[in-house]
Amino acid sequence: MARRWTSDLSPRDVTPERAFLNRRQILGGLAAAGAVTLSSPRARAQEALEPNSWEEITSYNNFYEFGTGKDDPARYAGQMATSPWTVAINGLVDRPGEYAFKDIMARMEIEERIYRFRCVEAWSMVVPWTGFELADLLDMAGIQERATHVAFETLLRPEEMPGVARPVLDWPYVEGLRLDEAMHPLTLMATGIYGRDIPNQNGAPLRLVVPWKYGFKSIKSVVRITLTDSEPPTSWNVANSREYGFYSNVNPDVDHPRWSQATEREIGGGLFSPRKPTLMFNGYEDEVASLYEGMDLSVHF
C-alpha cells in the first residue's frame, strides 16, 4: 500500500459546501477572469455561509459533456447511469481488465483528505474529499517496468451526455500524469465530498484529484486508466497548447495568456474579499517540488 499522507488542514479550513457546489453562481457577478481561495500553507478558518438546499447547491457546475451552461450539468447529469460502473485498467500492467467499481472500493483504503483546490480561472477553495490513493489502485493492477505515464479517460455516452453533440473538445475527455506524479501519496481517486457520494455533475462515481495542479487535471467520471511508456494527449492541451500545458502545475510565476495567476480569490470569503497570493504548487511545494527538480517550469507549464 502507498505511504499515507497527513494534511496540514483541519475541518474548519474546508470551503463551505454551498460555496464549493455553487461556486459558479457565486462568481457570476465578478468581472475578473477568476476568483479564488486560500491563504497561507496553514490556511485560516473560512467564513461560514448558510447552506442552500441540495437542489440549489448542485445547480452550478462545469462538466462540458452535459453542456457549457453553468446549470447544464445539474440539469442533465442525473440521466447518467453510474451503477454498475467499471474501470478498464490496461496498457503496461500485469493484470489488465475491467474492474468493477464495487470491487475496487472493497479493496481500497478509504479515507478523507482535506485539500486545497485551485482553478486555472484563478479562484480556489478547500474541499474534503473521500477516496483512496491512486497508487494503491495502480499497484493492484501491477505496474510494468516500462511504464512512465498514466492516461485517463472520461465516460462517453452521447445518449446521456447532450453536450458531446458540440465539438467543444475532442471527445472523450482525456488526461494524463507522469508515473511519479500518479504514484505520489497526494494523488487521490475521489469517490465522495462532504461525507456524501460525489454527485453526477461533480464526477461520479470516481474522479481524479491532484491538488497541486489546476482543477481541470482532475478528470471526472473515469472509465479507463492506461499505463504507457510515453506522454499521453490531454484534452485541453490538444485544444489549446499555448494556454494549457501538460503539467498544469499551480504556479504564480507563470500567467495564463489571458490573466495573471499571481493572485487568487477565496470562494466563501465574500465577493469583495481581498485577493490572496497564489501559493506555489497550491501550497504543496514541500511535498511535490522534488518531482520537478531541474525542470524549467515556465517551459514545462
DSSP reduced 3-state for 130: strand
Is 298 a known ligand-binding residue?
no
Is 119 a known ligand-binding residue?
yes
Is 143 a known ligand-binding residue?
no
Give phi and psi for 276, each to the nearest 5: -110, 150
Cα 2 to Cα 214: distance, rounded to the nearest angstrom: 23
| pLDDT tier for residue 26 given thresholds of 50, 70 and 90 | very low
Is 207 a known ligand-binding residue?
yes
**What does the pLDDT look like over 130-167, one tens digit per residue?**
999 999 999 999 999 999 999 999 999 999 999 999 99
Q: Which whole number is the average pLDDT over 17-23?
A: 59
Domain regions of the chain by residue span:
11-292
Element holding 24 (H helix, E strand): helix 23-27
Q: Is the pLDDT of residue 281 over 60?
A: yes
Q: Which CATH superfamily does the domain covering 11-292 fall into?
A: Oxidoreductase, molybdopterin-binding domain (3.90.420.10)
Is 157 a known ligand-binding residue?
no
Is 218 a known ligand-binding residue?
yes
C-alpha grid cell, residue 79: 440521466
Q: Is the pLDDT of residue 197 over 90?
A: yes
Is 70 a known ligand-binding residue?
no
Cα 35 to Cα 22: distance, rounded to the nearest angstrom: 13
Among 42-56, 79-93, 145-159, name the one with the lowest average pLDDT. Answer: 42-56
Q: What percent of the chain has pLDDT over 70?
A: 80
pTM score, whole prediction: 0.83
pLDDT at 39: 32
Is 4 a known ligand-binding residue?
no
Give phi and psi for 114, each to the nearest 5: -100, 110
Q: Is the pLDDT of residue 187 over 90?
A: yes
Cα 40 to Cα 287: distance, rounded to the nearest angstrom: 15
Q: Is the pLDDT of residue 52 over 60?
A: no
Is 202 a known ligand-binding residue?
yes
Is 194 a known ligand-binding residue?
no
